[in-house]
């Protein structure tokens, strides 16, 4: 059974949910995917039932309901909008409270009257209390849920610090105190909500893009009835043994074997094969492949959950569960930090009571300890660096999909590349143009403008500022022809052009022939390496990375490219499952693997890898599984992302140490009673400012990690035609 969960905020929640389920009698397996919030449960029906499982989750503070993609998307949209409203309320309130606070601060230094100060404080309270009650709901609800479950999460000390700061402010205002802390409490909410909203937006984008996989199957299929008539049926009702009819231009809706007909099909997104394949009777075809120029009668061998596309989806889900178990630096620190904060404050209260201090004085000191240890610096330590680093990556044409991507990218020691569309450019190019007669090449390019065949498209890119020939005829499966200056001009296969067979210069080269009267030419086409692939791969090798190629393309096409790049470990003809197996084998050796790929067949490997990158031209599903997407014809963004990630991780760790050192000095002073709530609030804000300023050092680091010329080359505002089209 698959359940969708509400109330999941961090990796610690995942561990808690799985432990809760494991404690229920009869549960065999419980795995939560932190990206999709899907909990997959396997249990023994004779020992428990679904209601008991849902009740156990409810006791732990998590609302569960059957996993339905549409409902999950609706709930996700609702939650994102809710967080945005909370963020807007906190932002509006903090700006207005700060205006009042500045007046009080300047007045305290000059001649403000107590009546005026009290009036400003009550105005601040009038804004802060309802704003915090609304904007703080994401933290308050999470903290309450954790308390009901008998545990304390990171949101508990945050909520406690905010509530105590507000309570102390109201008390001080009622007692005509000189200081109040409404501004600190609401400003903290603003920062924390901004980080949570950005994280939620990233997760939503990932899940939305992943849903595009279903579009490749097509919604309807043409099934052949018993009387031979075609009946339009939903793809979901197809079963093995059915006979379907696939028209030219349609996607094949199910895996099957061709009974009759021939055509060219494009399987590049599904299998990674570079070129269209000519298929006929007896050939195996896969759901999601595009049928081009011929009608096919296909006997279904696997439909619904048995197709290759659904196998890819299952592999993606399974791999995503494993990677979502990664716990961020801040989460790891919070698991230790939160209980220490509570114990310290409680111990301070008891200590001063035992020392004979009055209850009011002891409570004031305990509250000062809680305020000064409020984990705002800890909460900002990692997000502050992420925001600055993400901005620099964006300017370099690299877009992060996951908030924790930088941390995982920083730990990479092994890089696995796909070949087609990753090491090579997505579109094939003519490689022997300089060896051809210019006038023949010019005519070939103009004629190719009238064809959609991938080899013809490669030739057509050589046509600059010219129009197609008039009255061009395309012969299905053969080529195109036109009468030019009274002479027959043909572009297509050797038989169609009546051309002499040409021996290709390498196994990964495809040929298209041209005949113009008695003259003929063989045009060699292959996918070209990205312009800087050789230099980038050499640089990565020098940095100590172990490099591999895992491609779904033919081994004979992979081998020469691997030799050119100097990558010794290269495998072709890999299925999605084989790619995952190879990555898991590397993981078993203790490797942290970065997968760089672009096809649907790469999506499971992208999800299984420790971290992953995709080019912007990748399939939607591949982009959804990648931690980051780069916008460039070049491969350099891979190296840039790794360099910057390592620098960002160093700053994250520095920020965490700043938070620790701050508490090491500030907490003893607060426990000793030398810190008032005002000083505690100032120190808390000061630690946040220091952490933020340290994060801004990423600007200088990024300029070193991302050279200006590389950033300009990858600028998102200078798209090539290919990228624009994608």
User: How many other C-beta atoms lie within 10 A of the C-beta of residue 387?
Assistant: 18
Q: Is 527:454 a contact under the CB 8 Å cutoff? A: no
Q: Using CA atoms in the order 655, 660, 666, 671, what is the torsion angle rounded to 10 degrees? A: 150
Using DSSP, state whether 510 is helix, strand or coil.
Answer: strand
Q: Using CA atoms in the order 270, 272, 275, 280, what is the torsion angle rounded to 10 degrees? A: -50
User: How many other C-beta atoms lie within 10 A of the C-beta of residue 347?
Assistant: 13
Q: Is 419:526 a contact under the CB 8 Å cutoff? A: no
Question: What spatial distance separates the first Cα and last Cα of the chain, rounded to whole Å?
Answer: 37
Cα–Cα distance for residue pair 367/345, rounded to 1 Å: 7
Q: Are strands 263-266 and 230-234 parallel, antiparallel or unpaired?
A: unpaired
Which strand (E) or helix (H) includes residue 112?
none
Tokens 């001649």 label which residue? 111
- Per DSSP, the residues of 11-74 read HHHHHHHHHHHHTSTTEEEEEEETTTTEEEEEE-TTT--HHHHHHHHHHTT-EEEE--HHHHHH
Residue count of the chain: 726
Cα–Cα distance for residue pair 610/626, rounded to 1 Å: 10
Tokens of 564: 């050119």
Residue 466 phi, psi dihedral angles, 5° rounding = -130, 155
Q: Is 576:317 a contact under the CB 8 Å cutoff? A: no
Cα–Cα distance for residue pair 551/602, rounded to 1 Å: 9
Cα–Cα distance for residue pair 60/156, rounded to 1 Å: 15
In sequence order, the β-bridge partners of residue 613 are 596, 628
- Per DSSP, the residues of 330-396 read HHHHHHHHHHHHHHHHHHHHHHHHHTT--HHHHHHHHHHHHHHT-THHHHHHHHHHHHHHHHHHHHT
HEC string for 519-582: EEEEEEEEEEECCCHHHHHHHHHHCCCEEEEECCCCHHHHHHHHHHHCCCEEECCCCHHHHHHH
Q: Residue 418 catalytic?
A: yes
- Determine the Cα angle at 167 with ends 162 and 168, to 5°: 100
Q: Helices 636-671 & 329-354, crossing angle to 10 degrees?
A: 0
Q: Are strands 414-417 and 546-550 parallel, antiparallel or unpaired?
A: parallel
Burial of 225 (0-12, 13-18, 19+ CB in 10 A): exposed
Tokens of 448: 């190719």
- Candidates 207, 188, 209; CA nearest to 383 is 188
Identify the active-site residue in 9, 293, 331, 418: 418
Q: Using CA atoms in the order 109, 114, 116, 122, what is the torsion angle rounded to 10 degrees? A: 110
Cα–Cα distance for residue pair 637/642, rounded to 1 Å: 8
* Neighbour-count burial for 459-469, b at 16+ CB within 10 Å, e otherwise: bbbbbeeeebb
Tokens 């790469």 label which residue? 602
Q: Is 326:408 a contact under the CB 8 Å cutoff? A: yes
- Candidates 85, 83, 89, 94; CA nearest to 184 is 94
Q: Answer positive or negative: Cα dihedral of 421, 423, 425, 431.
A: negative
Positions marked active-site: 418
């Amino acid at each position: 059974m698959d359940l969708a969960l509400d109330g999941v905020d961090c990796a610690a929640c995942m561990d808690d949910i799985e432990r809760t389920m494991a404690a229920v009698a009869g549960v065999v397996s419980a795995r939560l995917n932190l990206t999709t919030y899907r909990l997959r449960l396997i249990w023994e029906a004779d020992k428990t039932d679904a209601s008991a499982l849902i009740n156990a989750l409810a006791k732990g503070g998590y609302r569960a309901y059957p996993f339905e993609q549409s409902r999950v998307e609706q709930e996700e949209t609702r939650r994102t909008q809710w967080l945005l409203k909370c963020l807007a309320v906190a932002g509006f309130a903090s700006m207005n409270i700060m205006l009042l606070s500045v007046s009080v601060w300047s007045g305290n230094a000059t001649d403000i009257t107590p009546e005026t100060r009290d009036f400003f404080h009550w105005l601040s309270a009038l804004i802060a209390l309802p704003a915090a009650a609304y904007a703080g709901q994401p933290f308050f609800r999470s903290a309450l849920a954790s308390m009901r479950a008998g545990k304390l999460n990171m949101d508990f000390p945050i909520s406690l610090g905010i509530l105590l700061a507000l309570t102390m402010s109201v008390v001080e205002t009622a007692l005509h105190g000189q200081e109040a802390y409404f501004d600190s409490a609401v400003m903290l909410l603003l920062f924390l909500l901004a980080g949570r909203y950005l994280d939620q937006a990233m997760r939503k984008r990932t899940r939305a893009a992943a849903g595009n996989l279903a579009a490749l199957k097509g919604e309807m299929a043409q099934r052949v009835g018993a009387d031979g008539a075609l009946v339009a049926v939903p793809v979901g009702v197809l079963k093995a043994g059915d006979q379907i009819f696939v028209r030219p231009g349609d996607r094949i809706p199910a895996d099957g074997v061709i009974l009759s007909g021939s055509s060219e099909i494009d399987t590049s997104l599904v299998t990674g094969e570079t070129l269209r394949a000519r298929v006929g009777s007896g050939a195996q075809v896969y759901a999601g492949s595009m049928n081009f120029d011929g009608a096919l009668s296909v006997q279904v061998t696997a439909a619904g959950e048995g197709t290759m596309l659904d196998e890819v989806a299952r592999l993606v889900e399974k791999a995503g569960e494993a990677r979502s178990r990664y716990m961020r630096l801040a989460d790891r620190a919070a698991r230790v930090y939160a209980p220490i904060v509570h114990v310290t404050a409680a111990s301070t209260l008891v200590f001063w009571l035992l020392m004979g201090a009055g209850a009011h004085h002891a409570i004031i000191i305990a509250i000062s300890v809680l305020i000064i240890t409020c984990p705002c610096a800890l909460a900002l330590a990692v997000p502050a660096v992420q925001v600055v680093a993400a901005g620099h990556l964006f300017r370099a044409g690299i877009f992060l999909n996951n908030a924790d991507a930088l941390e995982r990218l920083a730990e990479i020691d092994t890089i696995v590349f796909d070949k087609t569309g990753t090491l090579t450019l997505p579109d094939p190019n003519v490689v022997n143009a300089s060896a051809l007669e210019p006038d023949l090449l010019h005519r070939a390019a103009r004629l190719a403008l009238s064809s959609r065949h991938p080899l013809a498209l490669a030739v057509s890119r050589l046509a600059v500022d010219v129009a197609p020939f008039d009255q061009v005829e395309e012969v299905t499966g053969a080529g195109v022809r036109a009468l030019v200056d009274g002479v027959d001009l043909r572009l297509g296969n050797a038989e169609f052009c009546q051309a002499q067979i040409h021996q290709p210069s390498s196994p990964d080269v495809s040929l298209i022939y041209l005949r113009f009267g008695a003259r003929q030419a063989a045009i060699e086409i292959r996918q070209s390496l990205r312009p800087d692939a050789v230099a980038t791969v050499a640089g990565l090798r020098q940095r100590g990375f172990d490099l591999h190629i895992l491609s779904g393309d033919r081994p004979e096409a992979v081998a020469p490219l691997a030799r050119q790049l100097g990558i010794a470990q290269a495998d072709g003809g890999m299925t999605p499952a084989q790619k995952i197996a190879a990555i898991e084998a590397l993981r078993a050796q203790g490797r942290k693997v970065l997968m760089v790929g672009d096809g649907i067949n790469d999506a499971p490997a992208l999800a299984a890898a420790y971290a992953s990158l995709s080019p912007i031209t990748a399939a939607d599903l591949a982009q959804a599984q990648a931690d980051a997407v780069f916008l460039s014809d070049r491969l350099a963004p891979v190296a840039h992302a790794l360099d910057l990630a390592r620098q960002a991780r160093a700053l994250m760790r520095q920020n965490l140490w700043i938070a620790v050192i701050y508490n090491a000095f500030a907490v003893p002073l607060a426990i000793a009673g030398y810190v008032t709530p005002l000083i505690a609030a100032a120190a808390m804000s000061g630690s946040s400012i220091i952490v933020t300023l340290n994060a801004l050092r990423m600007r200088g680091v990024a300029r070193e990690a991302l050279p200006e010329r590389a950033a300009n080359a990858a600028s998102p505002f200078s798209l090539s035609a290919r990228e624009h089209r994608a």
